Structure 1
Amino acid sequence: MSKVRHSPKAPTALRYLPPGTEVDAHRHDDHQIVYAGRGVLSVTTDAGSWIAPATRAVWVPAGTVHQHRAYGETDLHTVGLPTTDNPLGLSTPAVLAVGPLLRELILAYTKERMPGAERLRMRAVLLDQLRHAPQQPIRLPAARDPRLAAACALLDEDPADQRPLAALGAEVGASSRTLSRLFRAEMGMTFPQWRTQLRLHHALRLLAEGTPVTAVAHRSGWASASAFIDTFRRAFGHTPGRSR
């Protein structure tokens, strides 16, 4: 993220992004809610990557340098909020669960024109809903140690790679014990937990691009479609077929 565009005010808007569209690195002086009403959106910062299907939104705190990428045809809804409006008190990016009411509020608030008084009332309800939105750990932290980063890059290139940590360590010059320690220290999770997160990220992208569920399962590293569906349902609350 070498060139960073500064937009003082975070926009509240609806924007259509064709598949593969990238929004370059930028930052706002406001907080921002980023939501894909259709398609799948990834949000990347120096701290890592977050991914948001239609049941999730990404909270981007004021001043955070971030960039987006769309997978599939994506409707990007963004809600800008002044720094005085931080209903969850979050100072770092986070993925928030989006229930039916919060979803409809975001859609209406970003695309419908209405009198000022009505808009203020809708915004108040939206903030109330955000206050009760649970955080969801669908993220991929950025690795700092070069050995860990190299191991992560191998699996990011091929999430279906089934090699154990020892075999990956041999390729990047670190023992399995060292990599296991680094995963806990830098990622805040074990290697199997991180690999599941990585595979879910890849699965969401493939689903948004129209890839059949069985193909998504195998290309993302699951032994069977049923195992993939079970993991996906536990992570997102619905089946991958519904996500497509």
Structure 2
Amino acid sequence: MGPLLRELPIACTEPGLAPAERRRLLGVINQGLLPADITALQLPTARDPRPAAACRLVLKDLSQPRTLTWPAGRVGVGERQLGRLLLAEFGGTCPEWRANARIFQAMIELSEGATVTQAAHRCGWATPSAFIDTFTRVMGRTPGSYRR
């Protein structure tokens, strides 16, 4: 996205902007976004086999709360070392990666027809309201609106 296209949404929010001008700006935005390359949404995968194996273990059952100790012991690496490996691979902590994985899986569940409550429980939230709050904060919309 070029600098002009980044500034256009800001320009559309200017107070006193005439409706016709807003429509023209939105047309330019739409035209600029049309050629965008659309790729499949996917979770990043680790290149190092140790954090990759740990991530696969966690992904097998997101409904279970897991500390870093659990996958670390199963892939033969210390908890602190696994934490450092995840930070190097993904630029974040294990809880951050797991939260992203849970949201990603919830998106899949919802798009396949699961209710908000079903998606919440399958992806490890204790309550649907906690899931709705997290999903809305991360995705900018409620899980119900995403499901529709």
What range describes the TM-score normalised by the shorter chain of this pair? Answer: 0.7 to 0.9
Give yes or no for the alignment of 1:177 onto 2:80.
yes
Q: Which letter does structure 2 place at the counterpart of 1:209?
A: E
- Cα distance in 2 for partners of 1:228, 1:125 equals 33
Q: Please state which structure has a larger fraction of its residues in helix.
A: 2
* CA shift for structure 1 position 144: 1.3
Q: 1:215 aligns with which of 108, 113, 118?
A: 118
| Aligned position for 1:10 | none
1:87/1:127 contact within 8 Å kept: no
Give SS of 1:140's match: coil
| Aligned position for 2:14 | none
Gaps of at least 5 residues in structure 1 are 1-85, 89-98, 100-121, 131-137
**How many residue pairs end up in the alignment?**
120
Question: Could you report, residue by residue, the CA deviation over 1:120-177 in whole angstroms, capped at 9, with x for unpaired residues?
Answer: xx5x5435569xxxxxxx8632201111011100122211231211121111101110
Q: How does 1:152-163 map to 2 (within 5 A)?
A: 152-163=55-66
Q: How does 1:18-33 map to 2 (within 5 A)?
A: none
Q: 2:2 aligns with which of 62, 83, 87?
A: 87
Q: How does 1:1-244 map to 2 (within 5 A)?
A: 87=2, 124-126=28-30, 140-244=43-147
2:58/2:71 contact within 8 Å kept: no
Give SS of 1:160's match: coil
Q: Superposition RMSD on alpha carbons, in Å?
A: 2.4
1:139/1:197 contact within 8 Å kept: no
Give SS of 1:194's match: helix
- Cα distance in 1 for partners of 2:31, 2:91 equals 29
Give SS of 2:43's match: strand
1:217/1:228 contact within 8 Å kept: yes
Gaps of at least 5 residues in structure 2 are 4-8, 10-26, 35-40
TM-score by length of structure 1 reads: 0.45
- Cα distance in 1 for partners of 2:32, 2:73 equals 50
Q: Please state which structure has a larger fraction of its residues in strand.
A: 1
Question: Could you report, residue by residue, the CA deviation over 1:38-75 in whole angstroms, capped at 9, with x for unpaired residues?
Answer: xxxxxxxxxxxxxxxxxxxxxxxxxxxxxxxxxxxxxx
